[in-house]
Amino acid sequence: MIKRIEEYEEIAGEKTVNHIYEEAVPLLGKHILHINSTYQGGGVAEMLNSLVLLMNSIGIDAGWRILHGTPDFFEITKKFHNALQGRKINLSKMKKRIYLAQNENFSIFTHIDHDAVIVHDPQPLPMINFYGKDCCSWIWRCHIDVSQPWQDMWGYLKRFITKYDAMVVSHKRYMKKELKVPQHVIMPSIDPLSTKNEKITDRTISKYLSKNQIDRDKPIIAQISRFDRWKDPKGVVKVYKRVKKEVDCRLVLLGSFASDDPEGKKIYAETRKAALDDEDIIFVTNATEILVNSVQRAASVVLQKSLKEGFALTVSEALWKGTPVVASNIGGITLQVIDGENGYLVDPFDYKGCADRVIKLLKNPEKAKEMGQKGREHVKKNFLITRQLLDWLRLLRIYIH
């Protein structure tokens, strides 16, 4: 379905839609290119799916290219991702060579003739080397929590970042004082009209839960995330086991495997082992949008027990559906969850504290409902795709002449 900005007027308001059209006037007919490393599996691809279509609907010629990589390349860039979040790696010459070679190869068969190129995350970051800075405006959009990177990794990638006209991050905490490159904050957002977030009937919810053998005879706790070590799925199992001693409940771990994340299947296997064949722990690896929508609406509580997190759009998704969230007090999550208002924030390693908050919500459904309603309003004001689109229009006006 083609997305048109007018469709969002009922949710975002006529005033917001009018602002979008006004801000777009100087950019009409301009060529914008987004580049990332996967078309599906993760929040970046999901946002681009809506953002690129909406840019085109208001008169901007926006495109989207995928950096194709080998398994070796994605193995390396996953390690780079981990290092940007603080983990030490072996930053060998071979890793650097493969990283650069894949970007150079891609530049040969990806011709750029645009007014601005927006490069998402570290995978295509060096691409600027192979085109030259003067061909257009270059913006690096980093979706990762880079507040405390491993310094060797940051030092290596910084040589590419400094060639960009601007860097965009999700939280002011991720801005780097030592960088001379202009830095901006654009918070991620959800598309309220996507299949994942649109309103659905209780009958539809039951249908998709039933298809995946998820019964509704007891309260559901859910975490919706890729099977990634930083999402701490084994920690989620620990929390559930504590909650289970107080309240009979069911845990749904709903995830998927992104093509640019080779660690996923290993983490999935480790988590299944930690579950010890508990029949009330349900694993689902085909995280279709309608199933995610159904689980987030059926859940009594949604967890996001990440150890590091650039933003975690799954939090806004759950809050938009009126479901309270218990989440780690880290990164962009703190922008979405107001502790004690629309959910609870806990230390990522405080399993008891996390379980206690979940139990509190399960035992007080009226309180949970009130928190969920406040969460929906918070998302409506701050984390819808229309707000992100406005942010990008205002930013692009600075760098496109």
Task: Indicate if 67 and 176 belong to the same structural domain.
Answer: yes
The CATH number for 51's domain is 3.40.50.2000
pLDDT in tens, 303-348: 999 999 999 999 999 999 999 999 999 999 999 999 999 999 999 9
Taken as a whole, the chain contains a residue count of 401
Residue 297 CB coordination number (10 Å)? 19
Q: Does any domain span residue 9?
A: yes
Q: Does any domain span residue 28?
A: yes
Is the model's pLDDT at 259 over the cut of 90? no
Whole-model pTM?
0.93
Task: Indicate if 356 and 251 belong to the same structural domain.
Answer: yes
- pLDDT attached to residue 258: 66
Task: Note down the domain range covering 302.
Answer: 202-382
Q: Does any domain span residue 24?
A: yes
Q: Collapse the DSSP code of 300 into the 3-class scheme (helix H, G, I; strand E, B; otherwise coil) and give the result.
A: coil
pLDDT in tens, 39-87: 876 789 889 999 999 999 999 999 999 998 899 999 999 999 999 999 9
Q: Which two tokens stand for residue 387?
A: 């707000």
Task: Indicate if 182 and 268 belong to the same structural domain.
Answer: no
Cα–Cα distances in Å, from 79 out to 37, 149, 356?
15, 12, 34
Is the model's pLDDT at 212 over the cut of 80? yes
Q: Work out the angle at residue 191's Cα, subtended by the Cα atoms of residues 189 and 193, and round it to the nearest 5 degrees.
A: 160
186: Cβ contacts below 8 Å, ≥ 6 apart? 141, 168, 169, 170, 388, 391, 392, 395
- The average pLDDT across 111-140 equals 92
pLDDT-based confidence at 1, cuts 50/70/90?
low
Task: Indicate if 266 and 166 belong to the same structural domain.
Answer: no
- Number of separate domains in the chain: 2
List the beta bridge partners of residue 208: none
Residue 246 CB coordination number (10 Å)? 14
Q: Does any domain span residue 195?
A: no
Is the model's pLDDT at 354 over the cut of 80? yes
- The average pLDDT across 134-138 equals 88
Task: Indicate if 184 and 244 belong to the same structural domain.
Answer: no
109: Cβ contacts below 8 Å, ≥ 6 apart? none
Q: From CA 4, how far away is CA 31, in angstroms rounded?
A: 19
Task: Indicate if 155 and 36 belong to the same structural domain.
Answer: yes
Q: Work out the angle at residue 234's Cα, subtended by the Cα atoms of residues 229 and 238, and round it to the nearest 5 degrees.
A: 145
Task: Indicate if 393 and 353 belong to the same structural domain.
Answer: no
Q: Does any domain span residue 15?
A: yes
Name residue 152's amino acid. D
Task: Indicate if 62 and 34 belong to the same structural domain.
Answer: yes
Q: Does any domain span residue 32?
A: yes
Task: Indicate if 309 and 166 belong to the same structural domain.
Answer: no
Indicate the pairing of strand 325-328 with strand 343-346: parallel
Q: From CA 391, how far away is CA 379, in angstroms rounded?
A: 16
Task: Indicate if 223 and 334 belong to the same structural domain.
Answer: yes
pLDDT-based confidence at 257, cuts 50/70/90?
confident
pLDDT-based confidence at 276, cuts 50/70/90?
confident
Task: Indicate if 109 and 154 belong to the same structural domain.
Answer: yes
Query: What is the DSSP-derived secondary structure letter of residue 342?
Result: T
pLDDT in tens, 217-244: 999 999 999 898 899 999 999 999 999 9
- The average pLDDT across 139-149 equals 96
Task: Indicate if 141 and 240 belong to the same structural domain.
Answer: no
Residue 281 CB coordination number (10 Å)? 21
- The answer to whether the CB of 67 falls within 8 A of the CB of 126 is no
CA 383 to chain centre: 12
**Weakest mean pLDDT among 14-28, 128-142, 256-270:** 256-270
Q: Does any domain span residue 197?
A: no
Q: From CA 249, how far away is CA 240, in angstroms rounded?
A: 8
Q: Does any domain span residue 12?
A: yes
**Weakest mean pLDDT among 101-115, 292-306, 326-340:** 101-115
Closest CA to 119 of 192, 186, 66, 74: 66
